[in-house]
Structure 1
Amino acid sequence: MQERTVDVAIIGSGTAGLSAMAQARKAGKSFVLINGGEPGTTCARVGCMPSKAMIQVAEDYHRRTHLGKYGIDGHEAMTLDITEAMEHVQDLRDTFVDRVLTNSTDDMPEDLFIQDYARFLEPTLLAVGSGEDERRIRAGAVVIATGSTPLVPAAWRSFGDKILTTDTLFELEDLPASVAVVGLGTIGLELGQSLHRLGVKVTGFDQQARIAGLRDPVVSDAAIALMQKEFPLHLGVAADIEADGDGLRVRAGEHAVSVERVLCSIGRVPNIGHLALESLGVPLDARGLPPFDANTMQVADLPVFIAGDVTGQRQILHEAGDEGKIAGFNAARGERRAFRRKTPLHINFCDPNICAVGERFDALDPATTAVGEIKFAPVGRALIMGKNRGVLRVYADKADGRLRGMEMIGPKGEHLAHLVCWCIQQGLTVGELLRLPFYHPVIEEALQAALYDAYAKVDAKNEGLTELAPLP
């Protein structure tokens, strides 16, 4: 069988794979992009973008419940056509997917973009396709960027389309009357709240005692209290599912509910079933993944690199893009250069936003950490918006005052999280941040108040006025 030779072979045409391809092009290397699943990124097809479209519809419709106190008449007469709403979500989803494909693979010649599954025969030898259509590709280096797929326990698969995931939810033309959301991480909480606000009877389950991946007990308690005001949450016990007439019955401990459908959002698993990774000749972990370096993305000591959601580590678009760039850079140049990763940033787009930045609360030493806190109830801008709910907590080093992390649930958290993330990455101290301007009235004043609270607990103090640096 004839072999084709390229400098770089990239398996997967999602965010990480496309970023790796851009690096190969930039280096002037020959490459081939191989994709065995649906083209287009997970974000555009079934992730970030359709979920945010649904969240926006749900938030806009939910806003009617608050309009009466502002003297706006007729708000109770607002109606929602679910079919039209889902068509809107799907239209936006298709627009985002088309943009990705138009700017990436649509116009690529067949010798550069192969729509088929690849498997390893050797670390640098791939078989693409099967049977008479099988072809082989010998590469100087290989990038694995095959993404991930929703995890559905084997015992639940027999329930067929009664089990929803993000792969199927956004395909619905209508919504069920009732849904149990099993798994209240970012995906489950965002979509659970949206479905509730669109008129679906929602019940949430999670075997963890906290939601949204929160680590700070104060923020976690506030988040649970706020979310429970919208739909019931049953936490700390694993859920079981059984058939119940035309629907399903979900039970967790003493709590049980009968629903039409279950949204399974308990995690994602790497897409590696077709890859034959055992052919790499290195040990595989319990998930079937090889060892790799998170700063070079190199697999063991092989000319093989791995990037994006398939790693199971930082399953977020900008992280997948960075990993693809690192993997593509090293694969195209024959290098093993290590790159510094960005400050961790997590944003849950439920209402209010739940965010975590930098080092997490449970990883910090209480003896060397100063915690600054502000509740949103008295924050002027939040009060005017009618969104003065939640709490923000910042973490700083007691000795030098450097900001190290934050967790929060509150309004406009997506913006506050970015500000804090940038400051942490720049190595700024609490005192330095307090010398930056804060306008009035803005949500950022909540961050300012939390910083003042932390500043009182750190040893590093500003000379002269806290807020103003003296002239030389």
Structure 2
Amino acid sequence: MTRQVKLVILGAGTAGLTALSEARRYTDDVLLINAGPYGTTCARVGCMPSKALLEVAHAYGRRDWLGASGIRGIETLESDLASIMVQVRKLRDRFIAGPISTVDSLGERSIHGQPRFLGPTTIEVNGERIEAERVIIATGTRPNLPEAWHSLGDRVVTSDGVFELETPGRRLGVVGLGPIGVELGQAFAQLGCEVHAFTRGSSVAGLNDPEVNASLLEVLERQMTVTTDADVTLRQGDQGLVMQGGGREVEVDWVLASLGRRPNVEGLGLENLGVELDKRGIPAFDTATLRVGDLPVYIAGDLSGLRPLMHEAADEGRIAAYHALHPDAECLARRTPQGIVFTEPSAGYAGLTGVQLPQSGVVTGSADFARQGRALMAGRNAGHLKLFADEHDGRLLGVEMVAPDAEHLLHLLAWSIQQNMTIDQLLQMPFYHPTVEEGLRGALQSARRELGKRRTLPDLPLCHEPADWVLG
């Protein structure tokens, strides 16, 4: 017997569960099929447990500044890695409870098993055949790990396993300094571990601008050894693993491999969709509607490779479900892109960066947080900010930064970019003193100078429509 279903969602991660929530606004005839663990990548092994670790690490990492500022007794502080990891897992289990509860509530409309396409709308799972009107593929990704490193056993760990370590060794190697490698490498360094990090390129944390990148590297190199432009080899040593690359050799207790992620497509039978697959094994799809050609099949979440971030996966789940159930509807616009790396100081971007910017017609504003007042008094004076504006109309196009609490500045600027705000409009906004935001104001002022504009009025809004807070 073949089960008939209006919509089948493959994958119970962030994209799949958000697609489920959106679809249930219009129909209850939805079936969720998941082959892997439940709880979402973000809550189980990604952004949530990592930030639980980072909060402790960043706080402990400020002990030297506290001592220099007159706080006595910091020499008695000690990081208990085993206890820290227990607390991280405790919080992790709390975070995954919600997504697991959502799946459990579906009853027979949730299936655990490996689905396989027999055709564009025919799926087989656990020996059952399912005929769907529409299908959303949201099976996610998993960490890359070179085949040769599998033989080194549990001394090589990816982000999928790092939070299961009960007592991490105090000598750590990191291979790959993208967002995950940088965050976790710095966290263990701040907790008192000896960290040796290697990365193939010259940039870290996904940063593009050389000055912004250099400002984060300067901080990291005070806390751990960093070797850039290095291809790394691993081999078994006398007491641990020997890492070799970039002219450096070091022995460590364990290695965090942070080498990107690959799509979970094995066993899905995507070749039976009848369309060409790319080198990742993914069919071509419309980046606006997420639809695969003319098929009633949609791609969502990290699997798409468009914007592999949790909030973007959620948006793609919404888009895929909406268009799956409204195939003739007008496409939905994407929000302004932003990415945040939760180092200390934190790093990231909003809007256009690097090669995305036009080749001409762009002006730049910058600010150095090494000299910024509020950052200086907090002992967090490090980082650099670059913002980019259209030289014709002054619209803010993008920003990249390393700055204290950059996550907040990046949100404000992403909102501003989405609202097509100009440099002048941003400078008319209130800036409190003393705050880190004053560093942003300095960058905006430098961009205005680059625009060749002179102030003809103070940086204050005009009184076209007096607001309620205007006195008099």
TM band (smaller chain): over 0.9
Taking the TM superposition and a 5 Å limit, the aligned residue runs for 1:450-465 are: 450-458=443-451, 464-465=457-458
Change (3 A) 1:93 1:199: same
Per-residue deviation, residues 245-279 of structure 1 (Å, max 9, x unmatched): 34211111311111111100010111111211101
The 5 Å alignment of 1:269-280 reads: 269-280=262-273
Distance (Å, rounded) in 1 between the aligned partners of 2:21 and 2:454: 46
Q: Tell me, in whole angstroms, the C-alpha distance in 2 between the residues paired with 1:166 and 1:198.
A: 18
Q: 2:304 aligns with which of 300, 311, 336?
A: 311
Tell me what 1:429 maps to: 422
SS in structure 2 of the partner of residue 283 of structure 1: coil
Which residue of the other structure, out of 99, 117, 120, is the alignment partner of 2:117? 120
Q: 1:177 to 1:464 in 2, by over 3 A?
A: closer
- Given the alignment, which residue of 196, 219, 233 partners 1:240? 233
Kept in 1: contact 2:229–2:246 (CA 8 A): no
The aligned residue for residue 468 of structure 2 is none
Question: Is structure 2 residue 8 aligned with structure 1 residue 15?
Answer: no
**2:172 is equivalent to residue 179 of structure 1:** yes
1:403 aligns with 2:396: yes
Contact persistence 1:117–1:274 (CA under 8 A): yes
SS of the aligned residue for 2:230 comes to coil
Q: Is residue 401–residue 460 contact of structure 1 (8 Å, CA) maintained in 2?
A: no
**More off after superposition, 371-380 vs 261-270:** 371-380
The residue that corresponds to 1:142 in the other structure is 135
Give the AA of the match of 2:117: F
TM-score normalized with structure 2 length: 0.96
Shift of 1:117: 1.2
Secondary structure in structure 1 of the residue aligned to 2:279? coil
Q: Secondary structure at the match of 1:420?
A: helix
Per-residue deviation at 1:19? 1.1
For 2:256 and 2:104, the matched residues in 1 are separated by: 33
Q: Which residue number in structure 2 is paired with residue 67 of structure 1?
A: 66
Q: Percent identity?
A: 42
- Asked whether the 8 Å contact 1:269–1:312 carries over to 2, the reply is no
1:87-118 deviation line (CA, Å, top 9, x unaligned): 0000000000012222x1122212x1011110
Residues 424-467 of structure 1: CA deviation (Å, up to 9, x unaligned): 01000000000111111111111111001101122567763343
Contact 2:231 / 2:245 at 8 angstroms: preserved in 1?
yes
Corresponding residue for 2:323?
Answer: 330
Is the CA contact (8 Å cut-off) linking 2:57 and 2:188 kept in structure 1? yes
Quick check: 1:41 aligned with 2:8?
no
The answer as to whether partners of 2:38 and 2:99 remain within 8 angstroms in 1 is no
Q: Could you tell me how far apart the structure 1 residues matched to 2:179 and 2:462 are?
A: 41
Q: Which amino acid aligns with 1:13?
A: A
Equivalent residue of 1:456, what SS?
helix
1:170 aligned counterpart, secondary structure: helix
Query: SS in structure 2 opposite 1:93?
Result: helix
Letter in 1 for 2:333: R
2:287 is aligned with 1:288: no
Question: What is the letter of the counterpart of residue 64 of structure 2?
Answer: T
1:414 aligns with 2:407: yes
Shift of 1:237: 2.1
Return closer, same or farther for 1:193/1:464 CA change in 2, 3 Å cut-off: same
Question: Which residue does 2:105 correspond to in 1?
Answer: 107
Letter of the 1:265 counterpart: S
Does the C-alpha gap of structure 1 residues 461 and 100 become closer, same or farther in structure 2, counting only changes over 3 Å?
Answer: farther
Give the CA deviation at 1:470: 5.3
Aligned to 2:440: 447
SS of residue matched to 1:327: helix
Q: Is the 8 A contact 2:427 2:459 kept in 1?
A: yes
Q: Please tell me whether the aligned partners of residues 428 and 459 of structure 2 are also in contact (alpha carbons under 8 angstroms).
A: yes
Aligned-pair CA distance for 1:69: 1.7
Given that residues 58 and 190 in structure 2 are in contact (C-alpha distance below 8 angstroms), is that contact kept between their aligned partners in structure 1? Answer: yes
Say which SS state the counterpart of residue 443 (structure 2) adopts. helix
State the distance in 2 between where 1:247 and 1:86 align. 21
Counterparts of 1:201-216 in structure 2, within 5 Å, are 201-216=194-209
Corresponding residue of 2:148? 155
1:388 aligns with 2:386: no
List per-residue Cα deviations over 1:34-74 (Å, max 9, x = no partner): 01100111000000000000001111211212111221111
Tell me, in whole angstroms, the C-alpha distance in 1 between the residues paired with 2:455 and 2:297.
Answer: 49
1:305-338 Cα deviation digits (max 9, x unpaired): 0100111221111100000001011112343642
Shift of 1:139: 0.2
Q: Identify which range, 167-176 or 456-465, moves more after superposition.
A: 456-465
Q: Residue type of the partner of 1:164?
A: V
Question: Which residues of structure 1 form unaligned runs of 5+?
Answer: none
Q: Which amino acid aligns with 2:339?
A: H
> What does 1:216-235 correspond to in 2, within 5 Å?
216-235=209-228
Is 1:190 equivalent to 2:189 in the alignment? Answer: no
Aligned-pair distance for 1:159?
1.3
- Structure 2 distance, partners of 1:280, 1:459, is 56
Q: CA deviation at 1:300?
A: 1.8
Give the residue type in structure 1 aligned to 2:24. Answer: R
Q: Which amino acid in structure 2 is aligned with residue 65 of structure 1?
A: D
Task: Tell whether 2:349 aligns with 1:352.
Answer: no
2-structure distance, mates of 1:464, 1:244: 68
Q: Which amino acid aligns with 2:8?
A: A
Aligned length: 465
Structure 2: gaps of 5 or more residues: 466-472
Q: Deviations over 1:143-190 (max 9, x none)?
A: 000111000011111212111011111001101121110000000000
Partners in 1 of 2:47 and 2:12 — Cα distance? 17
C-alpha contact (below 8 Å) 2:228/2:246 kept by paired residues: no
Per-residue deviation, 1:361? 2.9
* Matches of 1:78 and 1:449, distance apart in 2: 38
1:261 to 254, 257, 266: 254
Whole-Å separation in 2 of the counterparts to 1:251 and 1:333: 54
The answer as to whether partners of 1:205 and 1:239 remain within 8 angstroms in 2 is: yes
Question: What is the CA–CA distance in structure 2 between the aligned matches of 1:430 and 1:3, rounded to whole Å?
Answer: 60
